[in-house]
Amino acid sequence: MRKLAVATALYLVLAIGAVATLLPFAWMLSASLMQAGEASKWPPRFLPSQATLANYRALFERLDLGRCFLNSAFVATVSTVGALLIVSLAGYAFAKLRFPGRSQVYRVLLTAMVIPAQVAMLPMFLLLRTFGLVNTYWGVIIPALAPVFGIFMVRQYALSLPDELIDAARVDGAGEFAIYRKLIFPMLRPILVTFGVFSFIGAWNDFMWPLIVLTDERRYTLPVALANLIGEHAEDIELMMAGSVLTVLPVLLLFLVLQRTYVEGITMGGLKE
Amino acid sequence: MSARTGRARREGRAGLAFVAPALGLIVVFFVVPVAAGFLLAATDFDIYAIGDLATARFVGLANFAALLRDPVFWKALLNTFYFVLVGGPLSVAVSLGAAMLLNVRVVRFKGLFRTVYFAPVVTTMVAVATVWRYLYHPRFGLLNQLLGAVGIGGVNWLGDPRWAMPAIILMSVWKNFGYNMIIFVAGLQSIPGTLYEAARVDGAGPWQQFRHITLPALRPMLVFVGIITMIGYFQLFTEPYVLTGGTGGPLNATLSLVMYMYKQGFRWWNIGFGAAVAFVLFLIILAGTLVQLRFQRERE
């Protein structure tokens, strides 16, 4: 009897937590389907009286948010693919190749992670200005291409790869780059998928740096465009909710499909420390 | 012998070549800007200096002296500490609580609950904050409707300086707790169940088990989580930016250090002054990290 009461209480708490977690998303979706003005009527209602896609149409036709969607997709994809190459090379080298200064450089990199990125932002903006990269996609992408946590993730994984395989390939006369490309890269696949999901979601959601670098509305990524829209359309709740759905949906779907790899990546970083 | 040294040399060359792209990018886009940031903080670099570098002058510690006299800076500092010291522990506590619920042996559908609790973590902060802006609406907002149903009336969440920061903390905890929860779940699973059984045989209640088995076992993880949460929370920017339309209002009640740096540096182009704010942020984060590491060592 007591056991049953405990179990009921447990599920009740878990369920309340789940509802509280999902409620903002449910309201976002519901309000995005309402007629203009319906979300600020009294008495307030949770569900649309008559669902409509008019807000989504307005986003694409009137506000050109489809373009921002493509901007976001481009920036997130290119920075992820680039970072995958750079981080896999570096992570593998730090784990398996002996070269002068290896452990010292690696230790400095890890220590530097306590330096907040904001310290670099003002000088980096001036630097990108001299390169002519302000208000370009590359100004957002290039500084994100060598994330230290990515090098860390790949190195931790690469440490567990068998040395014998690499040595055998060397004895067979394979060059170091060929070994990386044909042998190591395929073996790193699981960790690269994890890192890729991290990187894509991070780049998609990033706000402060794109806000600083991108000055032309046509180049805005979705978060920047959305933050900018509230300024002019704060009263158009239904429209803003449609914009939020559009922004959140791709990363949420990606997470749902690849959640196992994503979650494993987090515990890896936490446990190995 | 010579074949082996030749191979070692080739390996060394390859190693350097493989880390070169990463190190090159890190030097150009992190090391150099960070060093330049420290230098900038000692200049009066402003909008004229962007046009003509020669107009920037070395001013020593004048920016820092100006910061200390600036009431808005103190407000931003205070707000940031409020957010970190209240929001950080609250977020870690909720994460730990959720992880412990998910770790109870009889609970089923663990994967489902975990996915649900984790979902806010991956979503876009700007979009989420846009949603919460309306959830916090004093009249139509869902939150006040729910509070009204239990008899609590009309909190003006984002309009009242006393409630604006709690509103930001509440949203941040909702958004972030799933991340640390995952780390704690992994930690809890690694505690052998026999420890708890032995404690129960000795007559230890749930609180004593938590206090003497769970907490000590999780200590290294708590330090790790504490440090990453603190570093992240000190960089508060997007939440107040979106919830308050870029102002940090009402009456600067949600202005954070990073927001102040952004306003000074990128909106008013007081770049030297903004760099000084960023430098202060760096010192605080460094000090906070060292304190937590020292704390862990003393416990050991």
Helix (H, G, I), strand (E, B) or coil at B51: helix
Mean pLDDT computed over every residue of chain A = 92
pLDDT at A138: 97
**Three-state DSSP string of chain A:** CHHHHHHHHHHHHHHHHHHHHHHHHHHHHHHHCCCCCHHHCCCCCCCCCCCCCHHHHHHHHCCCHHHHHHHHHHHHHHHHHHHHHHHHHHHHHHHHCCCCCHHHHHHHHHHHHHCCCHHHHHHHHHHHHHHCCCCCHHHHHHHHCCCHHHHHHHHHHHCCCCHHHHHHHHHCCCCHHHHHHHHHHHHCHHHHHHHHHHHHHHHHHCCHHHHHHCCCHHHCCHHHHHHHHHHHHCCCHHHHHHHHHHHHHHHHHHHHHCHHHHHHHHHHHHHHC
Question: Tell me, what CATH number does B269's domain have?
Answer: 1.10.3720.10
**Interchain CB distance below 8 Å, B187 and A201:** no
Q: Which of A119, A167, A246, A255 to mutate to test the interface with B (most CBs of B within 10 A)?
A: A119
Q: What is the pLDDT of residue B131?
A: 96
Is residue B48 assigned to a domain? no
* B282: in domain: yes
What's the rounded Cα separation, in Å, for the pair A209 and A121? 8
Q: What is the pLDDT of residue A273?
A: 36
Interface confidence: ipTM more than 0.90:
yes
- Chain-chain contact of A10 with B279 (C-beta, under 8 angstroms): no
**Total Cβ atoms within 10 A of residue B278:** 29
B residues 44-83 lying closer than 8 A (beta carbon) to A: 50
Q: Is residue B51 part of a domain?
A: no
Distance (Å) of CA A147 to CA A113, A153, B23: 10, 10, 10
Q: How confident is the model at residue A272 (pLDDT cuts 50, 70, 90)?
A: very low
Mark the ranges of chain B whose per-residue pLDDT is less than 50. 1
Domain span at residue B208? 71-299
Which fold would CATH assign to domain A65-272?
MetI-like fold (1.10.3720)
Number of domains in chain B: 2
> Does residue B144 share a domain with residue B254?
yes
- Select the residue of B104, B142, B245 nearest A10 (Cβ to Cβ): B104
Q: Which residue has the tokens 């409620």?
A: A23
Query: Which residue is listed with tokens 């010291």?
Result: B85
Q: Which of A47, A122, A238 to substitute to test the interface with B, most B CBs within 10 Å? A: A122
Whether residues B198 and B275 fall in one domain: yes
- Give the per-residue pLDDT at A208: 97
Q: Are residues B190 and B282 in the same domain?
A: yes
Burial category of B275 from C-beta neighbours within 10 Å (exposed 0-12, middle 13-18, buried 19 and up): buried
Residue from B53, B94, B130 whose CB has the most chain A CBs within 10 Å, to mutate: B130
Percent of chain A with pLDDT over 70: 98
**By the CB < 8 Å criterion, does B278 face chain A?**
yes
In the A/B pair of chains, how many CB contacts fall below 8 A? 283
Of B23, B6, B84, nearest in space to B288 by CA? B84
User: Would an 8 Å CB–CB cutoff place B274 in contact with chain A?
Assistant: yes
Share of chain B above pLDDT 90, in %: 75
Distance CA B91, CA B168 (A): 12
Give just the sign of the alpha carbon dihedral A114, A116, A121, A122.
Answer: negative
In one letter, which amino acid is B178? G
Residues B20 and B130 both lie in one domain:
no
Judged by CB atoms within 8 Å, which residues 153-182 of A form the interface with B? 170, 176-177, 180
How close is the nearest chain A Cα to the Cα of B162, in Å? 23
